[in-house]
A and B are shown apart, each in its own frame.
Chain A
Amino acid sequence: MAKLKFGVVIFPGSNCDYDTYYALKEVCKQNTTFLWHKEHDLKNVDCIVLPGGFSYGDYLRSGSIAAFSPLMQEVKEFALNGGLVLGICNGFQVLLELGLLPGAMLRNKNLKFLCQFVYIRVDNNKTPFSHRAKTGQVLKIPIAHFDGNYFARPETVQEIKNNSQIVFRYSDAEGQISDEANVNGSVESIAGLINKAGNVMGMMPHPERASELLLSSEDGRIIFESIIANLS
């Protein structure tokens, strides 16, 4: 099986770029390269990952400035042509700012940064990012964010639901959805969301931080493995 080529974008302030690179390259053994935000070169990658971090310090609004990086023109085009794009945490926020995904992020409901392992339930496994999981399967993956409280207008939420765009929802260990399990207060407990076309996904939890047993969970690897299987 030919190795795939992943591109991990580095914005100024990205801080999960190396972690994502490590998970793809060292753990999943894929060909992986960095893409620099100031360039216009996607280096012929098969899948683009926007990593977590604090791009541009998140000073204006999480992800807002990064959406204007030169490379984002190419990323947008790549996405509109059906290329697979995964945004993790800050990468999810950038996808929202780019308009590739609907909705916006608010501050967590407890108004504090939250770093903890959470459980997410797979609601839609018919996506390139989740097809190796079963519907209803529960994954243990950490979050680490201040602005992960997903919000969209009721009509948008309805549309998202009608199109089965919710990929992951915060749940308890048994897969039950509740206010308590919805740690950041997201609408519909949304933890991962895909676009209508089914090739661009954003998620707040960090699969790259749960790709080895040593790190308390390897549940996150199923997301990378889904992408790899989908493209191979």
Chain B
Amino acid sequence: MIDKKIIEEHNLTLEEYEKIVELIGRAPNITELGIFSLMWSEHCSYKSSKIHLKKFPVTGKNVIQGPGENAGVIDIGDGLAAVFKIESHNHPSYIEPYQGAATGIGGILRDIFTMGARPIALLDSLRFGPLSKPKNKSIMEGVVSGIAGYGNSIGVPTVGGDIYFNNCYSLNPLVNVFALGIAEKDKIFYAKAEGIGNPVLYVGSKTGRDGIHGATMASAEFDQDSEKKRPNVQVGDPFKEKLLVEACLEVMAKNIIVGIQDMGAAGLTCSTTEMAANSGAGIEINLDLVPQREEGMTPYEMMLSESQERMLIVAKKDKIKEVQQIFLKWDLDAVIIGHVTEGGRLKVKFEGETVVDLPVDAIINLCPVYERESKVPSYLKSETIAKPLPSPKNYNKTLLKLLSSATIAEKEWVYRQYDHTVQVNTAFLPGADASVLRIKNTKKALALTLDGNSLYSYLDPRTGGKIAVAEACRNLACVGAKPVGVTNCLNLGNPEKPEIMWQFKEVVEGVAQACRAFNIPVTGGNVSFYNDTEAISIYPSPVLGVVGIVDDVSKAVSPGFKKEGDSVILLGENKEELGGSEYLKCVFNMEKGIPPQIDLQEEKKIQEFCLEAISLSLIESAHDVSEGGLSISVAECSLLSPQRIGFCLDLQDDIHRDALLFGETQSRIVVSCSNQKSKKLLDRAKKRKVKATILGKTGGDRIIISHCGKKIIDIPVNEAYNTWKEAIPDIFRIK
């Protein structure tokens, strides 16, 4: 008997339950209720976000597949397509950091190869609480080693990403994982169950009781008992998935299957219903045939299990032997568990009885959609800076302090644990503005980046959303890549709280505006709500993944200075903006103020100019100005140069020194340029109406910055380097 308590335990409202009864014309049994609870969960249904996400531009001439499939697909020329997507695995990573992160990698990779693409890159955006707390350190260690454990084994390089630290992530870390694969553009596979009578195959790992209710877990707030949910987190097996990748790609190359879907969140339930719904057909399966690793599993448990490394395939009726042969070669189960039917129903049999008989349309398409109430958060009023702040007495110390802040410091401790050179495509090692991967047998390269400063989004969600897109595109421009597609992961708190809903709507608006301005389509993504633990919500945290193309990889530009005596030139304008900066956070422990504002047209102009300068081989290095401001950006150009070339600048702007050095004004790129080319660069900038200012020269072994002739920073490059490089290892060193 389904009662109120059971409905609540399934995270459904009474109204939703009544709607289910109305849709199916009777009360559901417990297995059917379980199916609805998964597919109508926020995680699977996007019921709170759907209507807002319509604001995103999703079309473009190179879009092969927009949102709605396992991943987005973009035409990248030469008969090839880039298949990419970002997903969150926040909740499981808090409960069980290693496995939570590892299965996140497994899940996102399945989304990519399910579409017929060989995964070639992983990136991840991580957000943790401050590392001064041991718990946060252990979460970070677990997450990093989980990503490494899965990605390294399966042989997909983890080539980039970003990491931020903030108190709001102490009880709710974020693990957003991005993967990209390459496929032949006319050989993309979709999750469809076509051809009445075609066999439905179950391939991969056996089904166990792990991960039951994973998707519902991701759709509720956490409390102090969330540790108890540890058994809900699945355990990953990268070796099994490696076999699956190879077997699936081999099957796909042979044109013997009709459709394929991975069993990620919501397992058998999601894969069967989605495949049927996508082609207006039905599916009938027999659970007795499902390979099981535990005895006595009920239909409820089997339908809701989130055991990893499983796929569902609809094969061509006459090719079934060939399909099974390939899976056998890779020592994998490939069992016929059912077939495609007419009539659009999901029928599930178990021990001779029909245990599920539901219309797939109701499960997939008729989930209620909510326009939830929204309200401007009250905290916004109190987050302004009341009085003028004292300027630093010793700018050298301030610069070093910022270089050692975990958000800015060198992340080698992290990326050294990730195999980032496997697959022999990695043209730029981690640390560059964007990851650059050559595309074999072409002159081209793909450039990838993830971005999202959540402090800006907390203080002004719309601006934060815009900047996330703008900065990602700016990172691409710095290496010489033109953006071609976007995927995004929007991480927020409980959408049933009006203030959170307001943040969400604003972030979406900002992201949408920026994508339109840059004319890049959103091809998919993920919304992760309910990132609240013990009533503390995270800052609204949009993470933007942008894919770009470098036409000629030999022209790609890295951020480090290349030689002594080059001119250091700033593209863009310094303004007096200090709000939301890493400087305020580090020095004054203040997360306040108006974040930097952004003019999207101005931003676009700067980026286009940077691309032009790179295509004409006018510049030696390019690096964007972001956290830490101008001084940190130029310092990084020195620290990222293999010879660690110093520099000497004299800034002339008539603005407060703290804002000039550490303010995070947008639309700025620091480039270096050999002397014989600097005039040409400046002339061209003038023609394009881009402000370009010579700040000084590279050379020597010191970091020297003056303001209107007065020296305010002067430190040896080596000291800055050691501070920056050792900050994170120091935190983790066993003392």
User: Does residue A68 face the partner (Cβ distance < 8 Å to B)?
Assistant: no
CB-CB under 8 A for A113 and B424, given A16-B155, A56-B239, A144-B152: no
User: CB within 8 Å of A: which of B414-442?
Assistant: 415-424, 426-427, 429, 438, 440
- Write out the residue numbers on chain B whose beta carbons fall within 8 Å of the beta carbon of A57: 153, 237-240, 242
User: Does residue B331 face the partner (Cβ distance < 8 Å to A)?
Assistant: yes
Quote the shortest CB–CB distance from B137 to chain A (angstroms).
14
In the complex, per-residue mask of B530-555: 1 if CB is within 8 Å of any chain A CB, else 0: 00000000000000000000000110
User: Does residue A112 face the partner (Cβ distance < 8 Å to B)?
Assistant: yes
Quote the shortest CB–CB distance from B140 to chain A (angstroms).
13
- Residue contact B421 to A18, C-beta cutoff 8 Å: no
CB-CB under 8 A for A209 and B421, given A12-B243, A12-B331: yes
- Residue contact A16 to B239, C-beta cutoff 8 Å: no
| Smallest Cβ-Cβ distance to A18: which chain B residue | B423
User: Does residue A45 face the partner (Cβ distance < 8 Å to B)?
Assistant: no
Quote the shortest CB–CB distance from B412 to chain A (angstroms).
8
- Residue contact A15 to B154, C-beta cutoff 8 Å: yes
Quote the shortest CB–CB distance from A180 to chain B (angstroms).
14
CB-CB under 8 A for A214 and B416, given A57-B238, A209-B422: no
User: Does residue A106 face the partner (Cβ distance < 8 Å to B)?
Assistant: no
| Smallest Cβ-Cβ distance to B554: which chain A residue | A214
Q: Bound state CA distance, A15 and B408, in angstroms?
A: 33
- Residue contact A113 to B440, C-beta cutoff 8 Å: no
- Write out the residue numbers on chain A whose beta carbons fall within 8 Å of the beta carbon of B438: 214
- Write out the residue numbers on chain A whose beta carbons fall within 8 Å of the beta carbon of B329: 38
Q: Which of B238, B421, B438, B553 has the most CB of A within 10 A?
A: B421
- Residue contact A12 to B427, C-beta cutoff 8 Å: no
When the two chains form the complex, which single residue of B239, B417, B553 contacts A214, counting CB atoms closer than 8 Å? B553
- Residue contact B239 to A206, C-beta cutoff 8 Å: no
When the two chains form the complex, which single residue of A12, A113, A214, A215 contacts B152, counting CB atoms closer than 8 Å? A113
User: CB within 8 Å of A: which of B136-154?
Assistant: 145, 148-149, 152-154
When the two chains form the complex, which single residue of A52, A115, A212 contacts B417, counting CB atoms closer than 8 Å? A115
- Residue contact B424 to A22, C-beta cutoff 8 Å: yes
Q: Which of A58, A117, A216 has the most CB of B within 10 A?
A: A216
- Write out the residue numbers on chain B whose beta carbons fall within 8 Å of the beta carbon of A26: 440
When the two chains form the complex, which single residue of A23, A113, A209 contacts B148, counting CB atoms closer than 8 Å? A113
- Write out the residue numbers on chain A whose beta carbons fall within 8 Å of the beta carbon of B242: 12-13, 15, 54, 57
CB-CB under 8 A for A54 and B427, given A112-B416, A209-B422, A214-B438: no
CB-CB under 8 A for A115 and B420, given A12-B330, A53-B155, A54-B152: yes
CB-CB under 8 A for A114 and B416, given A16-B155, A54-B152, A54-B238: yes
Quote the shortest CB–CB distance from B433 to chain A (angstroms).
17
- Residue contact A144 to B239, C-beta cutoff 8 Å: no
- Write out the residue numbers on chain B whose beta carbons fall within 8 Å of the beta carbon of A73: none
| Smallest Cβ-Cβ distance to A22: which chain B residue | B424
- Residue contact A215 to B239, C-beta cutoff 8 Å: no
When the two chains form the complex, which single residue of A12, A19, A112, A146 contacts B424, counting CB atoms closer than 8 Å? A19
Q: Bound state CA distance, A18 and B421, in angstroms?
A: 13
- Residue contact A215 to B419, C-beta cutoff 8 Å: no
Q: Which of B329, B424, B429, B440 has the most CB of A within 10 A?
A: B424
Q: Bound state CA distance, A56 and B329, in angstroms?
A: 14
In the complex, per-residue mask of B120-150: 1 if CB is within 8 Å of any chain A CB, else 0: 0000000000000000000000000100110
- Write out the residue numbers on chain A whose beta carbons fall within 8 Å of the beta carbon of B331: 12
User: CB within 8 Å of B: which of A1-45?
Assistant: 12-13, 15-16, 18-19, 22-23, 26, 38
In the complex, per-residue mask of A48-70: 1 if CB is within 8 Å of any chain B CB, else 0: 00001110111100000000000
When the two chains form the complex, which single residue of A13, A58, A113, A115 contacts B421, counting CB atoms closer than 8 Å? A115
- Cβ-Cβ contact count across A and B, 8 Å cutoff: 89
| Smallest Cβ-Cβ distance to A143: which chain B residue | B421
- Write out the residue numbers on chain B whose beta carbons fall within 8 Å of the beta carbon of A38: 329
- Residue contact B417 to A113, C-beta cutoff 8 Å: yes
In the complex, per-residue mask of A89-100: 1 if CB is within 8 Å of any chain B CB, else 0: 000000000000
| Smallest Cβ-Cβ distance to A57: which chain B residue | B239
Q: Bound state CA distance, A5 and B149, in angstroms?
A: 34
Q: Count contacts on A: residues with CB < 8 A to the other chain.
A: 34
Q: Which of A59, A142, A214, A215 has the most CB of B within 10 A?
A: A214
- Residue contact B152 to A16, C-beta cutoff 8 Å: no
User: Does residue A219 face the partner (Cβ distance < 8 Å to B)?
Assistant: no
Q: Bound state CA distance, A43 and B331, in angstroms?
A: 23
- Write out the residue numbers on chain B whose beta carbons fall within 8 Å of the beta carbon of A206: 421
Decide if the interface of chain A is mainly helix, strand, loop or mixed. mixed
- Residue contact A112 to B421, C-beta cutoff 8 Å: no
CB-CB under 8 A for A112 and B417, given A12-B242, A57-B239: yes
Quote the shortest CB–CB distance from A104 to chain B (angstroms).
20
Q: Bound state CA distance, A54 and B440, in angstroms?
A: 24
- Write out the residue numbers on chain A whose beta carbons fall within 8 Å of the beta carbon of B154: 15, 54
- Residue contact B424 to A215, C-beta cutoff 8 Å: yes
User: CB within 8 Å of B: which of A181-232?
Assistant: 206, 208-209, 211-212, 214-216
Q: Bound state CA distance, A216 and B437, in angstroms?
A: 12
- Write out the residue numbers on chain B whose beta carbons fall within 8 Å of the beta carbon of A15: 153-155, 242, 422
- Residue contact A13 to B419, C-beta cutoff 8 Å: no
- Residue contact A208 to B416, C-beta cutoff 8 Å: no
- Residue contact B440 to A22, C-beta cutoff 8 Å: yes
CB-CB under 8 A for A23 and B424, given A15-B154, A53-B155, A59-B239: yes
User: Does residue A116 face the partner (Cβ distance < 8 Å to B)?
Assistant: yes
- Residue contact A144 to B419, C-beta cutoff 8 Å: yes
- Residue contact A113 to B419, C-beta cutoff 8 Å: yes
| Smallest Cβ-Cβ distance to A216: which chain B residue | B429
- Write out the residue numbers on chain A whose beta carbons fall within 8 Å of the beta carbon of B239: 12-13, 54, 56-57, 59
User: CB within 8 Å of B: which of A141-161?
Assistant: 142, 144, 146
Q: Bound state CA distance, A13 and B155, in angstroms?
A: 9
User: CB within 8 Å of A: which of B239-255?
Assistant: 239-240, 242-243
- Residue contact B243 to A54, C-beta cutoff 8 Å: no
- Residue contact B422 to A16, C-beta cutoff 8 Å: yes
Q: Bound state CA distance, A29 and B327, in angstroms?
A: 32
- Residue contact B153 to A144, C-beta cutoff 8 Å: no
- Residue contact A13 to B153, C-beta cutoff 8 Å: yes
- Write out the residue numbers on chain A whose beta carbons fall within 8 Å of the beta carbon of B237: 57
- Write out the residue numbers on chain A whose beta carbons fall within 8 Å of the beta carbon of B148: 113
Quote the shortest CB–CB distance from A85 to chain B (angstroms).
22
Q: Bound state CA distance, A212 and B242, in angstroms?
A: 27
Quote the shortest CB–CB distance from A108 to chain B (angstroms).
10
In the complex, per-residue mask of B140-177: 1 if CB is within 8 Å of any chain A CB, else 0: 00000100110011110000000000000000000000
User: CB within 8 Å of A: which of B314-355?
Assistant: 329-331
- Write out the residue numbers on chain A whose beta carbons fall within 8 Å of the beta carbon of B155: 15-16, 53-54
Quote the shortest CB–CB distance from A139 to chain B (angstroms).
15
Quote the shortest CB–CB distance from B367 to chain A (angstroms).
38
- Write out the residue numbers on chain A whose beta carbons fall within 8 Å of the beta carbon of B330: 12
Quote the shortest CB–CB distance from B202 to chain A (angstroms).
20
- Write out the residue numbers on chain A whose beta carbons fall within 8 Å of the beta carbon of B243: 12-13
- Write out the residue numbers on chain B whose beta carbons fall within 8 Å of the beta carbon of A209: 421-422, 424
Quote the shortest CB–CB distance from B558 to chain A (angstroms).
11
Quote the shortest CB–CB distance from A112 to chain B (angstroms).
5
| 29 pairs of residues in contact across A and B, judged by CB atoms under 8 Å | A12-B239, A12-B330, A12-B331, A13-B243, A15-B154, A15-B422, A18-B423, A19-B422, A19-B423, A38-B329, A54-B152, A54-B155, A56-B239, A57-B153, A59-B239, A113-B145, A113-B148, A113-B417, A113-B418, A113-B419, A114-B417, A115-B420, A144-B152, A144-B422, A209-B421, A211-B424, A212-B424, A214-B438, A215-B426
Add 19 more A-B contacts to A57-B242, A115-B419 (CB < 8 A).
A12-B242, A13-B153, A13-B239, A13-B242, A22-B440, A26-B440, A38-B329, A54-B152, A54-B238, A54-B242, A57-B237, A57-B238, A58-B153, A59-B239, A115-B421, A208-B424, A209-B422, A214-B553, A215-B426
Q: Which 6 A-B pairs have the closest CB atoms?
A: A15-B155, A57-B239, A54-B153, A144-B419, A19-B424, A115-B419
- Name B's A-contacting residues (CB within 8 A): 145, 148-149, 152-155, 237-240, 242-243, 329-331, 415-424, 426-427, 429, 438, 440, 553-554
